Amino acid sequence: MKNLRFCTAKAVFVSIFLFGLSLVSFGQNDSTSAVHFGFIYPLSTNGKQAASYTNRFSLHAIAGLSKSETGVAIAGAANMIKQDASGLQMAGAVNLISHDAKGIQLAGAANIIGNNANGIQMAGFSNIIKNEAKGGQIAGFMNLAGSSQSVQMAGFANITRNDAKGLQLSGFLNKGKNVNAQVAGFANIAGNVKGIQLAGLINIADTSDYPIAIFNFIKSGEKSIAITLDETMTTIASFRSGGRVLYGIAGIGYNFKGDKRDLYAMEGGLGAHIKLANDFRLNLEAVSQTLSNFKKGNYSKSSLRIIPAYKIGNKLEIFAGPTVNYVSYDRDKDYDFVKKFIWKNNSSENFQGVHFGFNTGIQLIL
């Protein structure tokens, strides 16, 4: 029975092999082949002339070599295509296409395209496109392209030498010249940004009206250093940075009302400018603040601020406005910064409450 199965399998393989040879022989005049089977160059139905053939279907156990592919190319390790490829290319490790690629390229490690790509490239590690990428790129680590017209998604970084007109989404870094939108876990770098820049820490751009990060270094935007005071007698020295509309806030300070202990302050948040007149604007801010003596227990406060601001000259701005605050702390700490609350949770393990407050200060525009 086993011998019968072996003989049957052998016969099927020989038939397929001979069928491939016949198709190759039929197509040698115009260097095209309907099918191309093999193990690794030159052990294939196209033999040593494989690099001169355009194939409609290719299947290789290890690696395949061809001039072009117009249909489906599958290889256990690598597809190596000297000119163009269209359709579907799948490889366990690498798809290497010297010129243009149209369609879908799937690789366990990398898709490397020597000119333009129009379609979808998905790789476990990296997609590298020398010039323009018109479709989407998804990579476990990095997408690298001359320019991008659609979506780039990577676990670590998306980098385009020129424009990125779609969305760049990465776990760590996005970089491009003129971009539409960037979302990164750590930093975004761009020339001109049409949409939003959202980063875990830093945005850098020539122009960006809607950067969302703690630190935003925008050439056409605004940076300032502020000194603020709130209803708990906490004084903060903060750095505000952003674009024409959105900005980030990062600050440190000290609480002067803590009679029994030294309490140091840290705050971070986001804000938005609403221009009302030449020297008058409204700043809307959402800020999280923590007071701590770095031993045990913290006083946590989340605030929404509505702050009118008036500009004095070109460099100074004074501001003051109401705030709505949510506070939380250990009940045994007995912080008495605020006496009146509009809401309190008396049943929770930690004290929780909501109260009104204020925020006022002055800032130097850099």
- Tokens 């163009």 found at: 84
Mean per-residue pLDDT over the chain, rounded: 90
Distances (CA, A) of 139 to 109, 110, 306: 9, 8, 42
What pLDDT digit, counting tens, does each position of 310-360 carry?
999 999 999 999 999 999 988 777 788 888 999 998 777 888 999 999 999
Residues 6+ apart with CB under 8 A from 8: none
- What six digits make up the tokens of 204? 């850098």
Q: Find the DSSP H helices in the chain.
A: 2-27
pLDDT tier for residue 258 given thresholds of 50, 70 and 90? low
Report in angstroms the alpha-carbon separations of 284 from 240, 245, 357.
13, 10, 15
pLDDT in tens, 40-63: 999 999 999 999 999 999 999 999
Domains of the chain: 25-218 (no CATH), 222-365 (2.40.160.20)
Q: Which of 69, 61, 131, 101 is CA-nearest to residue 123?
A: 101
Q: Tell me, what amino acid is at 222?
A: E
Determine which helix (DSSP H) or strand (DSSP E) holds 120, and give its type and residue range.
strand 117-123
Q: Which amino acid is at 327?
A: V
pLDDT value of residue 346: 78
**What is the pTM assigned to this prediction?**
0.85
pLDDT band at residue 261 using 50, 70 and 90 as cut-offs: confident
- Model confidence over 189-239: pLDDT tens digits? 999 999 999 999 999 999 999 999 999 999 999 999 999 999 999 999 999
